[in-house]
Amino acid sequence: MLTFVDWNPDPTIFEIFGFPVRWYGLCFAMAFLAGFQVLSYIFKKEGRPTEQADHLLIYAMVATVIGARAGHYFFYEFPLLQSDPVRFFTQMIIPPYSGLASHGAGIGLFTAFYLYSRKYPGQSYLYVTDRVVPTVALGGFFIRMGNLMNSEIVGKPTDLPWGFKFYRDTEFNAMSNAEVLARHPSQLYEALSCLVLFFVIMWYWSKKKEKTPEGVITGWFMIVLFGLRFMYEFLKENQSEFENTMTLNMGQILSIPAMLFGLAVLLYSKKQHSTH
């Protein structure tokens, strides 16, 4: 019978001329590469120029980095803004970038999709988001696997047999390996959920894309993804100390408007469909 998983991977895969190649960086790159292949496939199947997928990828890359970085600081480092604004903005802008927030990335991405839809006539905002959300789900899988390889965003202690002992996590574990507690592999929970969501969306799109009103895929994606995120947060350690005094942590608070946005999109889609 499985008695916990000893998890101690080196975050660095190898070095090239002294420059470390890390698992998280590789997973981050794979998120965009795999997403681009999926988006190109979708555009090709729908008779759209695949060059537009190139342009959309650029929008997505810039928006992800800016949104995730700004989101981390405004959502999780806000006390620093109040105490030392200069240091707050300096750390947010100047590398190395050690903090990224998925909710911030989401805000950046959906803003970028709006700007993209305005530039390319014939593609409504919800048409674009419906085609892109499966790549976002796939990207979420790779990013959370990167978190797993970094032994970060760990779960709370558990006695379940699939608990992970994160030996490289020094924030919540004692320095002695003998005192390391088994924890929920929350990164793996989210990664697998994103992967399943990706396949479900792709199946639905392949079978019913002609009959599905614009916004339905986006709406359900937001509700399911952030609904799961809300639940998984109960199994995760807080990311910032100020969250310890909160009933709901920051991840849960930010997931609520995301789910409401998804619900609003569904209602809007239903209203638009009923008038045609």
Binding residue positions: 144
Paired tokens of 146: 């990167």
How far is 202 from 210, CA to CA, in rounded Å? 13
- Phi and psi of 269, rounded to 5°? -60, -45
Paired tokens of 211: 């009959």
Q: Which of 158, 155, 180 is nearest to 170 (CA)?
A: 180
How far is 157 from 160, CA to CA, in rounded Å? 9
Helix, coil or strand: residue 81: helix
- Phi and psi of 60, rounded to 5°? -65, -40
Do the beta carbons of residue 236 and residue 154 sit within 8 Å? yes
Element (H, E) at 20: strand 19-22
* CB burial of residue 263 (10 Å; 0-12, 13-18, 19+): middle
Do the beta carbons of residue 85 and residue 74 sit within 8 Å? no
Helix axes 23-45, 51-76, angle to 10 degrees: 140
How far is 31 from 24, CA to CA, in rounded Å? 10
What does the chain come to in residues?
276
